[in-house]
Structure 1
Amino acid sequence: MKIFVTRMIPQPGLDMLTKEYTVDINPSDRVLSKDEIITGLKGKDGLLCLLTDPIDKDVITAEPKLKMIASYAVGYDNIDVATATKQGIPVSNTPGVLTETTAELAWALLFSVSRRIVEADRFTRSGQFKGWAPMLMLGQDVSQKTLGVIGTGRIGTAFALKSKGFNMNVLYTDEQP
């Protein structure tokens, strides 16, 4: 089986693919045009694409040997799933793969704001820091505060669960009761 990969992926994934399949990888670190994807797909059985790749009807029907489209992303809005389905080509994605990662990033942003990290970094780098002062860049604790979460899907739930370690009260809202 021959697979076209539209952009470089982490080495462990690449190793798994090359162990079992013949893999052709786009060597440039940029989004390919639709025509470039069609050219790369010639003679291939599988396509591993990213969320930035336009996988429309033209791409899907360009290679008659195409048997599988795998999206290296949670989302698949960039893929014409209806056309793939009509052609009998399964489409896969990676749901949940970034749930914890995204929840952790949200916490990093929360800490950055509550502790004024970016502001303090800029203050220090600009030469304004002259020494410790009791109120300088004090920031706010997150422990024992109330955390509001809008949307409790996979990511919102993971984000909220991490608040337990800070003994926070969690308020949330979601489309689904």
Structure 2
Amino acid sequence: MKKVFLTRELPPKAMEKLRAHVDLEMNIEDRVLRKDEIIEGVKGKDGLLCLLTDDIDADVMDANPDLKIIANYAVGFNNIDIEAATKRGILVTNTPGVLTDTSADTAFSLILATARRIVEADSFARTGRWMGWGPLQYLGKDVWGATLGIIGLGRIGKEVVHRSKGFKMKTVYWNRTRLSA
């Protein structure tokens, strides 16, 4: 069975699958590991399963010349020195697309919460200052029919635009390359 070091616990379903297929050693604390702790953890392992909060550079890779794979539990991989991994023949993987809908939902939720002043109104009510309805209290702005500006129309940006259609929003965007209509 392959030996893998995990820098931080993952959701239960993922942990169950990992434990069934690899000899797993992991950080049991819910915190980002220091570089020296990652270096110590990766020694003698076939693989490293890390998160976007972990800086995986040549020093980490050099701690174990037998390291075969670095799996990043993240959409991107800018936390990993790809050039160093390539030089050492270490395969680097990531999880593209897994958080597209989740991120778009969160972004649109924040748009609604900001426009409607939800956080302010919640705080106002929870601190006992709300004494009843008032015509000007925390009305915020309408989202319906508003103009939405998006910077970066990648997977997530496109999904935010898709959600905005339900609110009949006009969309403007900036992207490095112009997209067809």
Query: Do both share a fold (TM > 0.5)?
Result: yes
**What SS class does the counterpart of residue 48 from structure 2 fall into?**
strand
Bigger mean CA offset, 133-142 vs 145-154: 133-142
The whole-number CA distance in structure 2 between the counterparts of 1:144 and 1:174 is 23
**Which one-letter code corresponds to 2:177 in the other structure?**
Q
The whole-number CA distance in structure 2 between the counterparts of 1:62 and 1:150 is 40
The whole-number CA distance in structure 2 between the counterparts of 1:6 and 1:126 is 39
**What SS class does the counterpart of residue 170 from structure 1 fall into?**
strand
Superposed, which structure 2 residues align to 1:1-12 within 5 Å? 1-12=2-13
**Which one-letter code corresponds to 2:46 in the other structure?**
D
Superposed, which structure 2 residues align to 1:8-157 within 5 Å? 8-157=9-158
Percent of aligned positions with the same letter in both sequences? Answer: 54
The whole-number CA distance in structure 2 between the counterparts of 1:104 and 1:52 is 22
Unaligned 5+ residue runs, structure 1? Answer: none
Q: TM-score, normalised by structure 1?
A: 0.94
The alpha carbon displacement at 1:96 in A equals 1.5
Unaligned 5+ residue runs, structure 2? Answer: none
For this pair of structures, how many residues does the alignment match?
177
The whole-number CA distance in structure 2 between the counterparts of 1:3 and 1:41 is 8
The whole-number CA distance in structure 1 between the counterparts of 2:82 and 2:96 is 16
**Which one-letter code corresponds to 1:83 in the other structure?**
A
**Which one-letter code corresponds to 2:154 in the other structure?**
G
The alpha carbon displacement at 1:97 in A equals 1.6
The alpha carbon displacement at 1:102 in A equals 1.3
**What SS class does the counterpart of residue 48 from structure 1 fall into?**
strand
The whole-number CA distance in structure 2 between the counterparts of 1:134 and 1:168 is 25
Q: TM-score, normalised by structure 2?
A: 0.92
**What SS class does the counterpart of residue 109 from structure 2 fall into?**
helix
Bigger mean CA offset, 129-138 vs 63-72: 129-138
